[in-house]
Structure 1
């Protein structure tokens, strides 16, 4: 795993906080979506979350659930 991918996953996990029990494990929920749609985005300032939200209609259901759990 590249350092950028690891940093992005850590960033998503840190922002997602404690997800609700019914949502998927946020540590890996968006990895595939990040790799597919946002791999060139450097972490920081909410850029990865913004990228994932911009591609929301194309994301996996698991990633959408992890992003939604951040909003609660």
Structure 2
């Protein structure tokens, strides 16, 4: 993944209001899952929707970050 793509994801997660899941850095909570399932999705193109669509395959850390985003 390019540095620009990763930076964009970090910014998107930071502004999404996602809280840290356990001891994870919230900006990176879903990076591995994004790389695996949603790498073709551009920022603003539905990254969260893509991740939620793969929810049963996501890491526990990413699920927790997505859940905390919903509570806000």
After TM superposition, the score normalised by the length of structure 2 is 0.82
- Matched-pair contact (CA < 8 Å) for 2:13–2:26: yes
- Matched-pair contact (CA < 8 Å) for 1:24–1:66: no
Q: 1:20 to 1:40 in 2, by over 3 A?
A: closer
> 1 CA distance for matches of 2:49 and 2:62?
13
Structure 1 unaligned spans of 5+: none
Per-residue CA deviation, residues 1-43 of structure 1 (Å, 9 max, x unaligned), is: 611122122212211x162675743111000000111111001
Residue 59 of structure 1 corresponds to 58
Structure 2 unaligned spans of 5+: none
Aligned-CA RMSD value? 2.1
Aligned residues between the structures: 70
User: Does the residue aligned with 2:61 lie in a helix, a strand or coil?
Assistant: helix
> 2 CA distance for matches of 1:20 and 1:66?
6
After TM superposition, the score normalised by the length of structure 1 is 0.82
Stretches (4+) displaced over 3 A: 20-24
